[in-house]
Amino acid sequence: MIRINLAPPSTTKRATAFSIAPGLNLGVVFGILALAVIGLIGAYWWKVSSDIAWLVAENERAEQEKTRLAAVIAEGQRFKREKEELEGRVNAIERVARNQTRPTYLLDAMADVLPADLWLTRIEEKGQQLRLAGTTYSSVALSDFMANLRGSGKFKDVDLVESRQDLTKSPRLITFEVSCRFEI
């Protein structure tokens, strides 16, 4: 009897060609891989969720700290404004005290250099420049006044700006204006 095998060639050869290792089921391998991927995704989700919860808590702590510090900053700014105001007051008092002595020294120096027959009608100070205006009966008193100003050492750059004598009036008054610098 002759036997003819009409069956397809051996399936074992074909199964071994597609398998990684003999006797290893690909369904089990893909199942394990699927579980591993699901596990990794779950671990990543848990990590992101915990990071989100930590960031939300940190944000709440930062907001509370911001609220607390806002009051401290407001108080600090109030102290800063008060300090600037007080410094302005102290500076104003110091300026007044410093400038208060200058007019006193000026008038004292004027009393020392004025001749008896000369009258000052105006003393004007602009910056460092001092302008003195007045009247006298004689030009000798005016020249003595200017010499006294120069000789005092307290008045610098003494110049006669204007000198006028009214010939129509009796007695004849000389009106004058002198410019100088007063240095203490």
Whole-number mean pLDDT of the chain? Answer: 88
In this structure, are 33 and 93 located in the same domain? yes
120-141: pLDDT as tens digits: 999 999 888 999 999 998 889 9
In this structure, are 126 and 162 located in the same domain? yes
In this structure, are 96 and 129 located in the same domain? no
Q: Residue 19 falls within a domain, yes or no?
A: no
82-129: pLDDT as tens digits: 999 999 999 999 888 877 777 888 888 889 999 989 999 999 998 889
HSE, side-chain direction, 13 A CA sphere, residue 24: 11
In this structure, are 55 and 36 located in the same domain? yes
What number is the average pLDDT over the span 33-45?
96
Q: In the chain, pLDDT over 90 holds for what percent of residues?
A: 61
Q: Residue 143 falls within a domain, yes or no?
A: yes
Output 123 or 10, whichever has higher pLDDT: 123
- Residue 96 is inside which H or E element, if any? helix 26-113
Q: Residue 95 falls within a domain, yes or no?
A: yes
Structural domain of 172: 114-182
Q: Residue 139 falls within a domain, yes or no?
A: yes
In this structure, are 68 and 96 located in the same domain? yes
**CB 118, CB 134: distance < 8 Å:** yes
Q: Residue 3 falls within a domain, yes or no?
A: no
State whether residue 128 is helix, strand or coil: coil
Residue 126's beta-bridge partner residues?
129
In this structure, are 120 and 54 located in the same domain? no
In this structure, are 92 and 146 located in the same domain? no
Choosing from 80, 105, 130, the residue where a domain stops is: 105
Q: What is the pTM of this model?
A: 0.49
Q: Residue 150 falls within a domain, yes or no?
A: yes
Q: Residue 9 falls within a domain, yes or no?
A: no
Predicted local distance difference test score (pLDDT) of residue 16: 44
What number is the average pLDDT over the span 48-60?
96
The CATH number covering residue 157 comes to 3.30.1360.100
In this structure, are 140 and 163 located in the same domain? yes
Nearest CA to 181 among 125, 121, 142? 125
In this structure, are 121 and 99 located in the same domain? no
Provide the token pair at 68.
């607390």
